[in-house]
Chains A and B, each alone.
Chain A
Amino acid sequence: MKEETLKLKAVEAKSFRQFDLKKKFRISESVIQALLFLAGILSVFTTIAIVYELGKEALLFFTNPDVTLFKFLGTTKWQPGIGQYGIWALVSATLLTSVIAMLISIPLGLASAIYLSEYASYRMRSILKPILEILAGIPTVVYGYFALLFVTPILKTFFGDYIQVYNMLSAGLVMGIMILPLISSMSEDALSAVPRALREGAYAMGATKLETSIQIVLPAALSGIGAAVIIGVSRAVGETMIVAVASGSGPNFSFNPLEAAETMTGHIARISGGDLSYNSIDYTSLFAIALMLFLVTLVLNLISQWVVNRFREQYE
């Protein structure tokens, strides 16, 4: 009892002391703010530098008297050495392999994400997720030879002579497998982030697990899943090693997946590997391809973004 009153007095005495509420200079706050700003500006600066370099060299290509915008966008043969500048010969292969890859990775990635997030037991998830993530750690050159030496022969048993040794189908399929863990992992994060209360609300209405997963959880997670798809598309379009190894070398305007064709990235990798003189049209054309690659990625990103905004359901 006595002790308590003493304590009370101590507290009272303390509260009468004068406060100092003036601004204080905190060095660590200022330093960390500067460092964080630098980290942020670095990536922005890098992007600007890349675009500048691309644009500068590509301008050299487009100002070449032999090159016209019509030849570039309106024809389908790419052979800068002999005056053929039809970029579609390369764009078609990039689009086709990417579409095949996304046709594999989006459904499978989403399905496995839904399984991991909504159906799998804790034990099952702790086994499956690391295995899936191993897929993401395999170097792409390994995937490339996997496509060429394992998948193509299998496809050959189905398509026989119709399929070429180097073909876009096998490259696209394997690229899809490469992107699958990325889509799956990111989508799983998005699905798991949907509040439990929403699932409970659905179950309490007599919804089955499937109805809850597909009609309530999935739409609520769509912005995260959209981000996963956007990154997946960007990886597919930018992927180089798999297509360089498995889909063939030589521009070919074709939408037949059984044929060989060279993608934009594959072409850049192959040509820049040879000896090029800095002023040649072959050299500057690479930058024009890269700029085109940049645009394709940008457009695909914008489309994905639009789709996501159109269909997502916000739960905040």
Chain B
Amino acid sequence: MENHYAIETNELSIHYGNFTAVKDVSMKVERQKITAIIGPSGCGKSTLLRAFNRMNDFVPGCHASGELLLQGQNLYGKEIDPVEVRRKIGMVFQKPNPFPKSIYENIAWGARINGFKGKMDELVEQSLRSAALWDEVKDKLQESAYALSGGQQQRLCIARTIAIQPEIILMDEPASALDPISTLRIEELMQELKKNYTIIIVTHNMQQAARASDYTAMMMIDERRAGGVIEFDGTTRIFTNPKDKRTEDYVTGRFG
């Protein structure tokens, strides 16, 4: 039977030195769906998301325990190369961070370092089309990516991630720095992308989670300030009939 989960965690915990920031997360993320991670500030949403592609490796003192399974391989196993992990699990950040290169080069660079041998022009066009950006930039591919608006920059970052054809795309509050119209475009784009990719998104915006995601994980910190997933279910259920009282308080805005 084919595994229809893109990635699974098994009692995954993330520690900064002696401090446990995220504790015992066990969740199965379904393939070609959008999974949202919500919760109050400081509950470890981003830390958990960044654990999925080992971006936390760059934080001194940060380490993980438990398992993170992609196709049955524990991504925190000793034999795993984090560079290879990131080629399979891409990431879009909170603030758009295009490279200080041309629009074309922003997309071509990632493909090139990943050993892409095909026709680069086609890949660039295809990636920009998938990110719904092609029509806006097709006449200025050689211009700096910094000439684009914030929303366009963020779609360029999505396009460059698509260009390396990962299995999973992680999004860390991808629309929080954007205006409502750009936000809507990103959300529409996510719906398109889930036909081919699995998306995990961290968001502060509960309407966004409710509108755009299929599954929602609710995170909360415990009395020792360690964050954990307290409820993980279909988005409709989380927003209409949650099991946990804390989730209900949070999604209805009565938190605190």
CA distance A315 to B114 in the complex (A): 23
Taking a contact as CB atoms under 8 Å apart, the answer to whether A200 and B100 are in contact is no
A231 proximal to B (CB < 8 A)? no
Query: Distance (Å) between the CB of A300 and the closest chain B CB?
Result: 26
Q: In this complex, which of A121, A200, A201 has the most chain B Cβ atoms within 10 angstroms of its Cβ? A: A201
Taking a contact as CB atoms under 8 Å apart, the answer to whether A208 and B83 are in contact is yes
Q: In the complex, which residues 184-226 of chain A have their Cβ closer than 8 Å to any Cβ of chain B?
A: 195, 197-208, 211, 215-216, 219-220
B202 proximal to A (CB < 8 A)? no
List residues of chain A with CB within 8 A of the CB of B98.
201
Q: In the complex, which residues 40-66 of chain B have their Cβ closer than 8 Å to any Cβ of chain A?
A: 53, 55, 58, 60
Give how many B residues have a beta carbon under 8 Å from the other chain's beta carbons.
27
Contact pick for A215, options B58, B86, B90, B109, CB 8 Å: B109
Q: Residues of B at under 8 Å CB distance from A?
A: 53, 55, 58, 60, 83-84, 86-87, 90-91, 93, 95, 97-101, 109-110, 113-114, 144, 146, 157, 160-161, 164
Taking a contact as CB atoms under 8 Å apart, the answer to whether A315 and B100 are in contact is yes
Across the interface, name the chain B residue whose C-beta is closest to A195.
B97
Query: Distance (Å) between the CB of B185 and the closest chain A CB?
Result: 20
CB within 8 Å for A201 and B55 given contacts A206-B87, A206-B164, A211-B113: no
CA distance A316 to B101 in the complex (A): 12
List residues of chain B with CB within 8 A of the CB of A198.
97, 99-100
Across the interface, name the chain B residue whose C-beta is closest to A199.
B58
A314 proximal to B (CB < 8 A)? yes
CA distance A207 to B113 in the complex (A): 7
Which label, helix, strand, loop or mixed, suits the secondary structure of the A interface?
helix
CB within 8 Å for A200 and B146 given contacts A205-B113, A205-B164: no
List residues of chain B with CB within 8 A of the CB of A220.
100
Q: Residues of A at under 8 Å CB distance from B?
A: 121-122, 195, 197-208, 211, 215-216, 219-220, 313-316
- List the 8 shortest-distance A-B pairs measured between CB atoms, nearest first: A206-B87, A313-B100, A204-B91, A205-B110, A197-B97, A315-B100, A201-B97, A206-B86
Taking a contact as CB atoms under 8 Å apart, the answer to whether B93 and A197 are in contact is yes
13 residue pairs bridging A and B, Cβ less than 8 Å apart: A122-B60, A197-B95, A200-B58, A200-B91, A201-B93, A201-B98, A203-B55, A205-B161, A206-B114, A207-B83, A208-B83, A219-B101, A314-B146
Query: Distance (Å) between the CB of B92 and the closest chain A CB?
Result: 8
Query: Distance (Å) between the CB of A202 and the closest chain B CB?
Result: 7
List residues of chain A with CB within 8 A of the CB of B90.
204-205
Across the interface, name the chain B residue whose C-beta is closest to A203.
B86
CA distance A72 to B110 in the complex (A): 55
Q: In this complex, which of B86, B93, B98 has the most chain A Cβ atoms within 10 angstroms of its Cβ? A: B86
Across the interface, name the chain B residue whose C-beta is closest to A205.
B110
Contact pick for B113, options A199, A204, A206, A219, CB 8 Å: A206
Query: Distance (Å) between the CB of A195 and the closest chain B CB?
Result: 7
